[in-house]
Chain A
């Protein structure tokens, strides 16, 4: 239970939510009217399309590329039509597609029959997702009370899935509740998802469905041994955001990095594309019981954490609004923020405490995702370890939900095994030592912490009013988020957006909207 210590006015918080609604509304209208190549590919994946050509092109890509001029009808009906027309088993059809068979050469037969088949295929995959969700829930129930609070989150990033498995198991044994496999540099810019197990990556490992499966199995082993649920995490972001969400749903991932604007700002992906993709991916996450993690923390790497704190809160409101619009529940919204203020600021740690407590009180049911210092970490690993532990302190004290453990070597390399070990040991020490601290502490009503939180909320309202006035897309063009400017038609993936036609058909979308109560 969150107790309020900052006395933030409820009217202001409600006002911010109302602004978020107004800001997102026009964007949501655009989203409704459009699909994208990756939304269609994710749909095919959720009809069970699978396989890859000898050149490495996945079957969903081959299908969507072949259907380019029929995209406004949706790919599902054409894929199902191919099954009806050829009379082949799905696996066999996929194999032929991988070998070069172009399904667009087949005439449309009985459209209604194709639609029914597509819906039946989707139901089959959905029942697999239902089973995954039920399994997760039963294990969480079985191991109730065994996880840390906040959940301790560690990344692995060797580039080699088999090496990742070793490190992930060690990390989970050491105490991590959540394991994220960082993706390889630039995967977010690939307009397809690589296939199979992979052993080569830079700064991370390819997200492939097979890699997901391998890691899942390894983490389940540790889970049984430790009698503690181990959450598996990856990145539903980049040009294949919805497809990765689909793969995660099928392989029982538990969390997904999934932001409504990160791709636009930090990967220069087109904004229309990102907005459409995030909605579809979030519906999949919502349905699968996956917790999303949003990326506000990244803003603080390009703009100043003290000055621009209000942009983080504003973005949390927007991410929350987009999440509701995709059927996510508050318990699935791991809104992001970070401990990134310049360590030389006097009382800086108190300002961090104010920010974290403010987020906690404004989003009481959300499992906030709190990021450690990164930008101001340096080669001085000893000082860095102290910074990480001030962060650990603030996180525990303010009851954050998902705690990314800071690495003393953040400025140097992706984590070594011993870096993680030190991180877990020290965090457990701090967190255990202050377990009940907030039951003991109140803030002075006119003190620095309370005043700072009120000030950030006020500035957030002013900022959101400005964004409402000029529009979200325009605000992004004007570099109002993260000090980064992106144009509407610029960025990658713009050509992959298609307006839905009259007869657009997508059984996956309809099933998601129906079961999430969005229809």
Chain B
């Protein structure tokens, strides 16, 4: 039996959602009707425009409550990653490396291209970490090299080669015009051109990065909002052991 789910407002299956958007038309009764019609065109069977405000002569803002009959089968839904798999703690990770790898794991990371945001990659790599979760530099069994931001893909790759890295971390925060996708793609293409894609575990991260997106581009994994060092470290060390990298 399919387990169909729909949005819940105040009774099961009422399908209620809240929307806000703007239209490039002047405010007025036609605009009000246009907002309602557009919500219906999206497949809502009921739509009430509860707020309309002019933003300029040509643009109007709306808040709409609408209801949908559409639902999906919960049982067919797969998440970006398996929520039941919990990351190891820092101590567990160090112990795991000692037991199964027997040497320090080398991780090299940077925020690449023109992207100047360091706080994300720092949160993962620097000693201090983030939100009371230590960063990789703090891990006794990990040798972490954080190259900072605005690092060209080539530089990061050269550095990883020179230091015999096990894993490369690439951070991308700016996503306008899909610049993160272009940049991450270039990174993988550069590695492939050198015939070295297989040499490193490649991980992408940033607030708009998902595991699926990263995998599609050719990374081993992607980590988004709310990631901590232990999430990434757990993934790296498990993958190394799984693939017999030592």
Known: A202-B179, A268-B150. A418 touches B21 (CB 8 A): yes
A174 touches B56 (CB 8 A): yes
Q: Is A355 an interface residue (CB 8 A)?
A: no
A302 touching B53 by the CB < 8 A rule?
Answer: no
Residues of A within 8 A of B (CB): 159, 166, 169-170, 173-174, 185-186, 189, 202-203, 266-268, 301-302, 375, 378-379, 411, 413-414, 416-418, 421-422, 425
- A377 CB to closest chain B CB (Å) equals 11
Contacts of A185 in B (CB 8 A): 114-116, 174, 176, 179
Minimum C-beta distance from A155 to chain B (A): 14
Check if A418 sits within 8 Å of B55, measured CB to CB.
Answer: yes
Shortest CB distance B219–A (Å): 22
Contacts A170-B58, A173-B55, A189-B114 given; 11 further ones with Cβ under 8 A? A170-B56, A174-B55, A185-B116, A202-B176, A268-B150, A302-B118, A302-B119, A416-B22, A417-B61, A421-B22, A421-B53
- Number of contacting residues on B, CB 8 A? 24
Complex Cα–Cα for A267 and B148 (A): 11
Quote the shortest CB–CB distance from B91 to chain A (angstroms).
26
Kindly state the separation between the CA atoms of A266 and B118 in the bound complex, as whole angstroms: 9
Report the separation of the CA atoms of residues A159 and B178 in the bound assembly, to the nearest whole angstrom. 13
* Contacting pair A173 B56 (CB below 8 A): yes
Assembled-state Cα–Cα distance A425/B20 (Å)? 15
Is B100 located at the chain interface by the 8 A CB criterion?
Answer: no
- Residue B3, interface by CB 8 Å: no
Tell me whether A417 and B22 are in contact in the complex, defined as CB-CB below 8 angstroms, given that A169-B56, A189-B150 are known contacts.
Answer: yes
B74 interface contact, C-beta 8 A: no
B1-34 interface with A by 8 A CB criterion: 20-22
- Kindly identify which residue among A267, A416, A425 contacts B116, using a CB–CB cutoff of 8 Å: A267
Q: How far is the CB of B57 from chain A (nearest CB, A)?
A: 8
Q: Which 5 pairs across A and B sit closest by C-beta, in order of nearness?
A: A186-B114, A170-B56, A418-B22, A421-B55, A203-B176
Inter-chain contacts of A375 with B (CB < 8 A) = 119
- Summarize B's interface: helix, strand, loop or mixed: loop
Q: Closest chain B residue to A200 by CB distance?
A: B177
Query: Given known contacts A169-B56, A186-B114, A411-B207, is B119 in contact with A159 (CB within 8 Å)?
Result: no
In the complex, residue of chain A having the shortest beta-carbon distance to the beta carbon of B128: A483
Q: Kindly list chain B residues whose C-beta atoms are within 8 Å of the C-beta of A202.
A: 114, 174, 176-177, 179
CB of B225 within 8 Å of the partner chain: yes
Q: Give B101-142 interface residues, CB cut-off 8 Å to A.
A: 114-116, 118-119, 122
Please report the C-alpha to C-alpha distance between residue A62 and residue B68 in the assembled complex, in whole angstroms: 62
User: Min CB distance, B116 to chain A, in Å?
Assistant: 7
| A169 and B55 alpha carbons, distance in the complex (Å) | 10
Q: Is the CB of A203 within 8 A of B174?
A: yes
Question: Are the C-beta atoms of B119 and A301 separated by less than 8 Å?
Answer: yes
14 A-B interface contacts by CB (under 8 A) = A159-B176, A166-B58, A170-B55, A185-B115, A185-B174, A186-B114, A202-B177, A267-B150, A268-B150, A413-B176, A417-B61, A421-B22, A421-B53, A425-B53
Q: Which residues of B have CB within 8 Å of A189?
A: 114, 150
List B residues 147-204 near A (Cβ within 8 Å).
148, 150, 174, 176-177, 179
Residues of A within 8 A of B114 (CB): 185-186, 189, 202
Please name the residue on chain A nearest to B178 by beta carbon.
A202
A302 to B120, CA, bound (A): 10
B175 and chain A: residue at smallest CB distance? A413
CB contacts (< 8 Å) of A166 on chain B: these are: 58
| Most chain B beta-carbon neighbours within 10 Å: one of A174, A202, A411, A413 | A202
Residues of A within 8 A of B207 (CB): 411
Question: What residues of A have a CB within 8 angstroms of the CB of B22 in the complex?
Answer: 416-418, 421
CA distance A301 to B149 in the complex (A): 14
B52-66, CB < 8 A from A? 53, 55-59, 61
